[in-house]
Amino acid sequence: MNEFDFIRRYLQRQQPDDNLILGIGDDAAVIRPALGFDLCFSSDMLLKNRHFFADVSPEDLAWKVLAVNISDMAAMGAKPRWALLSAGLPELSEDWLNRFCGSLFALADRFGVTLIGGDTTKGDLVFNVTIIGELPQGKALRRDAAQAGDDIWVSGRIGLAAAALNCRLQNCTLPTALYQQCEAELLRPEPRVALGQAVLPFAHAAQDISDGLAQDIGHILKASDVGAELWADELPSLPELKTVLTEEQWLAYTLAGGDDYELVFTAPVGAREAVAAAAECSGTAVTRIGTINDTGRLQIIGSDGKEIKLTALGFDHFG
Ligand code: ADP
Ligand code: MG
C-alpha cells in the first residue's frame, strides 16, 4: 500500500456537511463558515515516548491524538467541526491502520468532526491534529476573563492519569484494579464538549487541564490579572487513590500531574444554579474547588487551613 492508497482507502469518506465545500483529495480543503459564527482553531502534537508509550494500542493512540484536540475546542466553549491530521508513520500496515482509523473515526463521528485533510510522511510515530470549531460570534471562553469573586469549578476527576503514568514509571504502586481505572483516564480522556457549550452563556474564563491544574489555572490568573485560592480537600479524585498514595504524591498528581483533559472554569457566584443545570444537562460532574481573588497569586489551602507549597506546578516541556 502506498501513501495514496492509504489516503483513498482509509481517509476519504463521504460525509454530509453543509459548510464543507471541498474535503480530502485536493491541495486544500474549503470551508464556508455559517453566518453568525466565529471559527476557532487549535493544534496539538503527540510524539512517541513523550506523549505516549511505544507499546500503546493503535485504538488508544488514535483516541488520544484526536481527543486532546477536541478538548481544546471544549475549553473554548466551541463545537468541534473539522480536523486535519498530519502523521509520521514508520510503515503503512493494513492491520494497524484499520485499527487506528476505526478508533479515530468512531471518536470523530461521536463529536461530529469531519477529517478534511492532513499530510502523511514516513516517520517515527508522530501526529499533529489541527482542529477547527464553531462558536456563536463574539462568544469564546477565554483565559483572560476571570474576575475576583468568581467561583472556580473543575469537571470530572483529576490526578488519575498522572497516578497511572507514575505507577507505570514505578514512582508509586497502585493495586491492579485501581491502576486500570486510572490508566483508562490516561489512555482515553473524555473531551468535555457538552459542558463547555453548556457553560458558555455565563462562565467567565475556562481552559482544559493538560499540564496540571495548578499550572493551567495559573494561565487564567496571569491572563486575567487575578489570584486564586484552591481548596486541596475539595479536589475531585478517587477516594482509593488518597488512601494508597502518600499525601505528597496525591497532591503532586492532582495539582501538578497533567493529562487530565478536564475543564477548569470560573463563573460568578450568582451562576451556581446555572452551573448545576449545565452539569446536569451535559451529564458531567463538576466540583467547586476555590475562588478567584485579587491577590495576584495562587494559594493552595490544606485541610488545616494552612497554605500548601508546591514546588513543581506542572509539566513544562522545556523545564
Ligand atoms: P500534497 O501533495 O498537496 O501535500 P497529498 O498528496 O499529501 O497532498 O495529500 C492528498 C490529499 O490527502 C490532501 O487533500 C490531503 O489533505 C489529504 N491527506 C494526506 N494525508 C492525510 C492524513 N494523514 N489525514 C487526512 N488527510 C490527509
Ligand atoms: Mg502532502
Give the chain's domains with CATH numbers: 3-136 (3.30.1330.10), 143-301 (3.90.650.10)
Q: How far apart are CA 162 and CA 315, in angstroms?
A: 11
From the alpha carbon of 4, which atom of ligand 1 is closest? 6
| Cα 116 to middle of ligand 1, angstroms | 9
Indicate if ligand 1 lies below 6 Å from the C-beta of 123. Answer: no
Whether residue 83 contacts residue 58, with contact meaning beta carbons closer than 8 Å, is answered with no
**pLDDT (average), residues 144-149:** 98
Low-confidence winner among 38-47, 188-197, 227-236, 298-307 (lowest mean pLDDT): 298-307
Report the percentage of the chain scoring pLDDT > 70: 97
Q: Report the first-to-last Cα separation within the chain, whole angstroms.
A: 41
Indicate the pLDDT class of residue 316, thresholds 50, 70 and 90. Answer: low
- Could you tell me the CA-to-CA distances from 107 to 6, 16, 63, 75, 209 in Å, in that order? 20, 17, 7, 18, 20
Q: How far apart are CA 227 and CA 283, in angstroms?
A: 30
Q: Is the pLDDT of residue 319 over 60?
A: no
Low-confidence winner among 105-109, 248-252, 305-309 (lowest mean pLDDT): 305-309
| Cα 318 to middle of ligand 2, angstroms | 29
List, for residues 266-297, the tens digit of each pLDDT value. 999 999 999 999 999 999 999 999 999 999 99
| Cα 29 to middle of ligand 1, angstroms | 10
Residue 312 confidence (pLDDT): 55
Q: Write the residue with the smallest CA distance to atom 19 of ligand 1.
A: 119
**pLDDT (average), residues 75-97:** 97
Indicate the pLDDT class of residue 318, thresholds 50, 70 and 90. Answer: low
Indicate the pLDDT class of residue 163, thresholds 50, 70 and 90. Answer: very high
Residue 14 confidence (pLDDT): 82
Q: How far apart are CA 121 and CA 124, in angstroms?
A: 10
Which of 120, 126, 129 most suits a substitution to test ligand 1, by most atoms within 8 Å of the C-beta?
Answer: 120
**Sheet of 307-308, strand order:** 206-208, 263-267, 151-155, 286-293, 227-231, 298-301, 307-308
Residue 317 confidence (pLDDT): 55
Instruction: Give me 208's grid cell.
Output: 482544559
**pLDDT (average), residues 76-94:** 97
Q: Which ligand is nearest to the CA of 130?
A: 1
Q: How far apart are CA 204 and CA 166, in angstroms?
A: 33
Indicate if ligand 1 lies below 6 Å from the C-beta of 120. Answer: yes
Q: Is the pLDDT of residue 36 over 60?
A: yes
Q: How far apart are CA 66 and CA 51, in angstroms?
A: 13
